[in-house]
Chain A
Amino acid sequence: MPSATKTKGQPGSSPAGLSPSESWSEWIDRHSGTYFIAPAVTLILIFAIFPTFYSIVFAISRVKFTPNGLQFRTVWLQNFQKQFLGNEQIHFLGRLEGLSVIGWVFWLAVTGAVLWWLYRSFRNGASWIGMIGRLISATTAIAIAFILGATLLSGNNWGTLMTTLFYVIIGCAVQFVIGTALAFLCSQPISGKNFFRVVFFVPLMITPLGVGYAFKMILDITKGPFQPFWDFIGLHDWAWSTDAWAARWFVILGDSWQWIPFIFIIMLAALENVPRDQVEAAQVDGASSFQIFRDVTWPQIVPVAATVILIRMIEAFKIVDLPNIMTSGGPGIATESMTLHSVFLWRANDMGNSAAVAYLLLILTVIVCSSFFNYVVLGQLRKAK
């Protein structure tokens, strides 16, 4: 307890007249600002920040299992170099053997568009920190366009990087469109709204593993429920698990079954939150439901939509259970996400490369999500205010 003269002028100190000495409960109360937030910050420091830093040690080392524990040999950026240029390139980026004409055209078009965007934001006087952010986003976009041009558009297989982006971008797009459409339908004056709401919500709650197994079972060509259908279209001895694109789309199918409810539930709440009088005013003016949605409702729910897509994207980058269960990443590496890539490397006791891939996933996630946040979500939020 500090002396009375010292505490007199400090905010929060007890007055001389009322309580001569501070009790322990008052001491605690005076430090409530600290103890309210300290547990959360400490836990995050220990279990998120510290391990993130420590992962660097793995990522720049070759790790060996010895009887006395792990042995690290520092190889600096070799693990990363391997993913981009070395013998892991095919696994991570894909087979890059020069670009086809379409690949070239696509890459140049994207590069041009990105450079134009950079030039315009430079002309509009972005801050230097904003310019650095834009440069990073632009570089990433150009690199991804190059990989896309060199793999898919040049007839080569792509690696886990592009597969992950495929799940994120195509998955999010499909889920957003269908989820919003369902929410729109459910916001119409229909009976049984609560029934649909509960039923549509359920898949979100089912463990991704269960979803993986259920879809593996259902999509089975010979024993699954659609066997008569496959027979009918003459695919009775087709195995989708050996067809890269079919396998990828089926993973997206399972993922969408699980995550559309998330979009649906939030968009429905947003739709129902639009002021009734505005909708009624439009109805009196004779607008159709679709026109009301397009002109009145949609502009008001765009900020929610942008946020919900961001949340979905963040989670989508972590996809692992579904491809692991449904296809084990196959055929080959066609459905392997980056997390799964890292897990497989870890199972092969290659912890250095595993950590390097994990780290690259973190960097990719941060760049894509913060680009989306800065250029789309913030813009929409600002417009709404």
Chain B
Amino acid sequence: MTLINPKVPVTFDKIQKSFGAVRVLEELNLAVEPGEFLVLLGASGSGKTTALRILSGLETATSGSVMIGDREVTHVLPKYRDISMVFQSYALYPHKTVAENIGYPLKVRGVAKADAEVQIKDAAAQVQLGDLLHRYPRELSGGQRQRVALARAIVRRPSVFLMDEPLSNLDAKLRGHMRAELKHMQNTLGTTTIYVTHDQIEAMTLARRVAILEKGILQQLATPAEIYNNPANLFVAQFIGSPPMNVVHGQLDGAVFHSNGAKVDVPVSGKVAKAILGVRPEDCTVVSPAKGNVAAEIYTVELIGDHTLVTVKSGSDMVTVKAPKDFNGKTGEKIGVLLTKDRLFVFDAATGERVR
């Protein structure tokens, strides 16, 4: 059975949402390209789920409009939006078998039984559930339940998939596996997908573009590489990357960053009284005290496996450095840290904006 999926764009236009006096979304403008895998990334309370629910129609925006394709759907009932959604809890009907669960969207749309059966089998086969059709959700493992939820979403061939943290209830190993499958499936189907998560690794691996939300405001919308290499502001810079980017407080004066007497040359110039220097752990190197840009002493050493994380203390700032796995230093040992100049970011401490 071959089905060509319509690739449709999705547009949020000045979407605002308040619950009572609480503003959850402030003027969200977001254009999702046809067939794109877009991830909405943010911490809890950032408004990412609300945005998704507004798109699904389960929540109504306070103001603004939503378009799916060239159709405005702001006030259209969910069932007419031609979307399907995978919930964090999977929302499988416990009293229905796998086949009935997958077939439910077809049943309520009045698809003929014979047709429905073919489509159910097709969808189940796509997620490798073919032999479990007569089981009940309670008899399935977490991963299998996840697949049922996916099959139920794809069986109807909607124009947009919505996924609300679909992998967060799985254990770490399974999550990696399902992530790969999900990406593959989206590639094959080519359906526009909007995926909500708080997990940056999921976002980086799955997305064609990532939209980072915080406090109801879109912080940056870009490809994963762009977000990592060129963060728009301090929040994005700190949110992405594991272990997180190191920050050092100080002043920017010309092309030199001053902190506790140490001077670091940075690739930007300007004059900011309260500035923050950001540097990723892999862009620092531990060297002998004389050679480094910054003098420090070792605070802890953690062997991760393929590398060692060394946390050093310089004045009141802690800096984590990614060192080779055979690094051996002792706590309290005096060392120097060398920073790669063109991989340094400077932010305005007051606004969090990047100084470029």
Residues of A within 8 A of B (CB): 8-15, 17-19
> In the complex, which residues of chain B have a beta carbon less than 8 angstroms from the beta carbon of A17?
71
> In the complex, which residues of chain A have a beta carbon less than 8 angstroms from the beta carbon of B60?
11
**Cβ A14 vs Cβ B75 within 8 A:** no
**Cβ A14 vs Cβ B77 within 8 A:** yes
> In the complex, which residues of chain B have a beta carbon less than 8 angstroms from the beta carbon of A10?
75
In the A-B complex, list the 8 residue pairs whose CB atoms are closest, starting with the nearest. Answer: A15-B76, A18-B80, A15-B80, A11-B75, A17-B71, A12-B77, A9-B75, A11-B60
Whole-angstrom distance between the Cβ of A7 and the nearest chain B Cβ:
9
17 contacts between A and B (CB under 8 A): A8-B75, A9-B75, A10-B75, A11-B60, A12-B75, A12-B77, A13-B75, A13-B76, A13-B77, A14-B76, A14-B80, A15-B71, A15-B73, A15-B76, A17-B71, A18-B80, A18-B82
Whole-angstrom distance between the Cβ of A249 and the nearest chain B Cβ:
51
Residues of B within 8 A of A (CB): 60, 71, 73, 75-77, 80, 82
Given contacts A9-B75, A14-B76, A19-B80, 9 further A-B contacts (CB under 8 A): A10-B75, A11-B60, A11-B75, A13-B75, A13-B76, A15-B71, A15-B73, A17-B71, A18-B82
> In the complex, which residues of chain A have a beta carbon less than 8 angstroms from the beta carbon of B75?
8-13
How far apart sit A196 and B77, CA to CA, in the bound complex (Å)?
Answer: 53
- The total of interchain contacts (Cβ-Cβ below 8 angstroms) comes to 21
> In the complex, which residues of chain B have a beta carbon less than 8 angstroms from the beta carbon of A18?
80, 82
How far apart sit A308 and B187, CA to CA, in the bound complex (Å)?
Answer: 59
Whole-angstrom distance between the Cβ of B306 and the nearest chain A Cβ:
41
How far apart sit A17 and B8, CA to CA, in the bound complex (Å)?
Answer: 15
> In the complex, which residues of chain B have a beta carbon less than 8 angstroms from the beta carbon of A9?
75
> In the complex, which residues of chain A have a beta carbon less than 8 angstroms from the beta carbon of B77?
12-14
> In the complex, which residues of chain B have a beta carbon less than 8 angstroms from the beta carbon of A12?
75, 77
How far apart sit A19 and B77, CA to CA, in the bound complex (Å)?
Answer: 12
How far apart sit A14 and B71, CA to CA, in the bound complex (Å)?
Answer: 12
Whole-angstrom distance between the Cβ of A178 and the nearest chain B Cβ:
40
How far apart sit A9 and B72, CA to CA, in the bound complex (Å)?
Answer: 10
Nearest-neighbor residue (CB-CB) of A10 within chain B: B75
How far apart sit A10 and B77, CA to CA, in the bound complex (Å)?
Answer: 10
> In the complex, which residues of chain B have a beta carbon less than 8 angstroms from the beta carbon of A14?
76-77, 80
> In the complex, which residues of chain B have a beta carbon less than 8 angstroms from the beta carbon of A15?
71, 73, 76, 80
Whole-angstrom distance between the Cβ of A339 and the nearest chain B Cβ:
44
Whole-angstrom distance between the Cβ of B278 and the nearest chain A Cβ:
44
Whole-angstrom distance between the Cβ of A176 and the nearest chain B Cβ:
38
How far apart sit A11 and B77, CA to CA, in the bound complex (Å)?
Answer: 7
How far apart sit A319 and B331, CA to CA, in the bound complex (Å)?
Answer: 80
Nearest-neighbor residue (CB-CB) of A14 within chain B: B80
